[in-house]
Amino acid sequence: MTADLEEKTDRYERMLADALAVAEPRPPADTPLGEAAADVLEMAESYLEDGRHFREDGDPVNALASYSYGYGWLDAGVRMGLFAVPDDTELFTT
């Protein structure tokens, strides 16, 4: 079970980091939707940082939860049209 947890935690960390690298805010930053996009990015980045902190502390369960929450925030932002993502990516449920 530990190996499965480690593999899944690794995979979700990479997935969130990769998703953050390709998601580009669509609305202008100085608009309400632009502010919403910035908030979503901040949440996703914070969860990535939290997950890495948990991993350093030897807590893969909370690390995985953090990566999952962060990815969920970003994926929701993509589905709402707050972010442009490459057409050839399988990172999002667009």
87 belongs to a structural domain? no
CATH of the domain at 52: 1.20.1270.90
pLDDT at 94 over 70: no
Q: Supply the pLDDT for residue 90.
A: 72
42 belongs to a structural domain? yes
pLDDT at 31 over 60: yes
8 belongs to a structural domain? yes
Number of structural domains in the chain: 1
**pTM to 2 decimals?**
0.89
Q: Supply the pLDDT for residue 28.
A: 95
Interval 40-66 mean pLDDT: 97
Q: Which string of b and e fits 34-46 if b means at least 16 CB within 10 Å?
A: eeebeebbebbbe
91 belongs to a structural domain? no
Residue 46: give the domain boundaries: 2-20+31-81
CA separation, residue 70 to residues 2, 44, 46, 47, 86 (Å): 22, 4, 8, 5, 19
39 belongs to a structural domain? yes
The pLDDT tens digits for 2-28 are 889 999 999 999 999 999 999 999 999
Q: Supply the pLDDT for residue 3.
A: 80
Band the pLDDT of 85: cuts 50, 70, 90: confident
The pLDDT tens digits for 55-82 are 999 999 999 999 999 999 999 999 999 9
